[in-house]
Amino acid sequence: MSPSEPRSATSATTASPASRRGGTSSPWDSEESREFLQERLRTLFGLVAIMASALFIGSWVIGLLWDPQSLDHGLPIQPWAMFHLGGIAVAATVWLATRRSPLPAEVLRVVEAAGVFFLSMAMIGRAASLPVSLRPDLMAALALFALLLYRAAIVPSEPRRTRLLGIAAVATLPFMTYGIYARAGRTDLPSAWAYTAFAFLFAALAVVLSTTISRVIYGLRQTVKEARRLGPYTLVTKIGEGGMGAVYRAQHALLKRPTAVKILPPERAGEMDLARFEREVQMTSLLTSPHTVSIYDYGRTPDGLFYYAMEFLDGIDLNELVRRDGPMHPGRVVRVLRQVCDALGEAHRAGLIHRDVKPANILLTERGGRSDHAKVVDFGLVKSVSGGAGGKTADDVVLGTPYYMAPETLRAPDKIDARSDLYCLGATAYFLLTGKPVFEGPSADVFASLLRDDPIPPSQRLGRPLPAALEALVLATLAKSPDERPESVEAFEEALAVCDGVPPWTDADAAAWWRSRRPLIQPARAGQATESRTLAVGRESAGPAA
């Protein structure tokens, strides 16, 4: 299906790989669900270990205060203490296993089942070691009741699995109860069968209540998961938000390629905004430059939510790069700008103007084994210079980011052309070379300087020399009059290619930079959280917006 053919989210839904194989897909198939399961198991067993440890210490303290002669003051070698320490060891072991490296979902579920079972055995063994006068059956029943209900509330699980784990955990309780009271042989107590019936009812109640809790929580999680599904795409996490919509990392039901989904927010879903959003998709999908973000698909949900899917860019935008590393190497700036010229040149030849070229809308990634591959994103303000219905979307409104806005955008926003993108690209180059925008301050001051002031030369702003030819070329793109700028991005690219005195930035230099900085850039394909935020389509710059 071509991007120009809207499709309904309902008709786009397809079977999962597991269902195509004739099996049932697991709720923990996705990486996000697996991480969630591991985090919940870590929480469950960590808290159990803490509470069991506190109870163990409390039992010794209370016992010593109540009857100093009843407890051994040396090592805790009494049977009840051994069982209690065994339960602590089980919980601590599972906690340690789930807090380190990621574990497969199948392993996590086995670890969970083993942990719950051995914890229940430790609880029953501890209770069985107590004298009959302390009602060991009641102690065991209460402990198992708390464990099963706590697990059901913490760990989202299929009701059937919760029921089976619960039955396995409480199965020995009636047998333990009968054995204790049958051996006691006390005529002043009810029969062993009476206590056994009580234990059986209590165990059944624990299984029923924990299963009910799981059914409610699991159902709510599935409802949320369904609400986050758009056609064949399931939203995973928000990775950016701009004036024309929010962007989410998403998973396709069948394809494994990383995907980003952009959604028009409901409050912006008016006729004009929806037309502009749809136009962005249609126009961007016509562009085939390797330095333009690729559009995969788009559609509308039955309730009218408009979205489109695009390639997921696991890199860093230039605004964030300069914020972290400072001004860029002049050779690297030239290398990046030439790639951006390729993307803008194709758009301009197709009669499209980006109108929001800025560092935050240029991402560096690694593609095809090469580093520093530039991608131009966020065509949300794209304008067609050929007119037509698509070009009537509030063209007389000032749109863009003040730090990188061309002067004619303020003077005559309906008269802008491809040379306005060239000014934005020059302002971007200025920022990359100096680490600062051409003009700084509140929006009103930036607007005033944009119309009247000449830029300070980049070398003067930086405080050290820059290649003279490159500096002159950048200043030429920042001319107030479009006629005084290079005539096109192609001409600008050609001038960049022959700039004298620019030290080269080689493939080896780029590869070395990425090797040293990759730990600071979130590996988007794995969806891991690190110091750096994942930077993808739709990011807004830190500067003031128009």
Among all residues, which ones are annotated catalytic?
A: 356
H-run or E-run covering 50: helix 31-66
Q: Which residues pair with 365 in a beta bridge?
A: 373
CB atoms within 10 A of CB 453: 12
Helix (H, G, I), strand (E, B) or coil at 259: strand
By CB atoms closer than 10 A (0-12, 13-18, 19+), residue 55 is middle
Exposure of 395 by Cβ count < 10 A (0-12 exposed, 13-18 middle, 19+ buried)? middle
434-437-438 Cα angle (round to 5):
95
**Quick one: 521 exposed, middle or buried, by C-beta within 10 A (0-12, 13-18, 19+)?**
buried
Q: 210, 219 in Cβ contact below 8 A?
A: no
- As a residue count, the chain comes to 546
CA distances from 62 to 14, 57, 65, 285, 449 (A): 61, 9, 5, 73, 77
C-beta of residue 349 within 8 angstroms of C-beta of residue 283: no
Q: What is the dihedral of CA 153, 156, 160, 166, to 10 degrees?
A: -40
418-434 and 468-477 helices cross at what angle (nearest 10)? 140
- The pair of three-digit structure tokens given for residue 307, joined into one six-digit string: 């979205």
DSSP string, 51-81: HHHHHHHHHHHHHHHH-TTSS-SSS--SHHH
Rg of the chain over Cα atoms, rounded to whole angstroms, equals 33
Spatial separation of the C-alpha atoms in residues 245 and 247, rounded to whole Å: 7
